[in-house]
Structure 1
């Protein structure tokens, strides 16, 4: 069972919503290249609200993801696209169904 996760919450600046959606959708190939990332989801919860949820088998995988290409792309574009810094929460999974 995967036991570790990350939940990132993102709020787009006014007028930047489509660019955030495009950035997140375009990150899928990067996630697919991360051998230690078990699941990766990019989602939208409102007109300007977005998120990323991903899971890992161990802390090493989670840490590798935080230092990976998706995190770099997000942080390199945060000032231009996001209304505030991303809120990134570390999650310890208690149960899951696949």
Structure 2
């Protein structure tokens, strides 16, 4: 059951918006391979503004994600692609709805 999550907001460097979007899309297979990550979203918030939202059943899953392959890839490219360091917020899931057809 989804109990906790992460909300990460990112602002692309000017001229790096397309590269940032490609980078975020490329992380999807990594998220699929994380056992503790229940849902993972890469989102576009507006021009040059992006985010990652993911959910976990427990703190162990969230911590594994924070030290996993996506975090490593983001750390390696953050200065190149993003104007400011990623803003990482730990969140609690209050309610969800099941996926519909």
Shorter-normalised TM-score: what interval? over 0.9
Partner of 1:13: 13
Counterparts of 2:80 and 2:40, CA distance in 1: 24
TM-superposed deviation, 1:95 = 1.1
Equivalent in the alignment of 1:33: 33
Q: Which ranges of structure 1 fall in alignment gaps of 5 or more residues?
A: none
- Tell me which stretches of 4 or more aligned residues in structure 1 moved more than 2 Å: none
Q: How many residues align?
A: 98
Alignment of 1:1-98 (within 5 A): 1-98=1-98
TM-score of the two chains, using structure 1 as the length reference: 0.98
Q: Structure 2: 5+ residue runs without aligned partners?
A: none
The RMSD of aligned alpha carbons is: 0.6
Deviation string 1:62-83 (CA, Å, 9 cap, x unpaired) is 0000000001111111111100
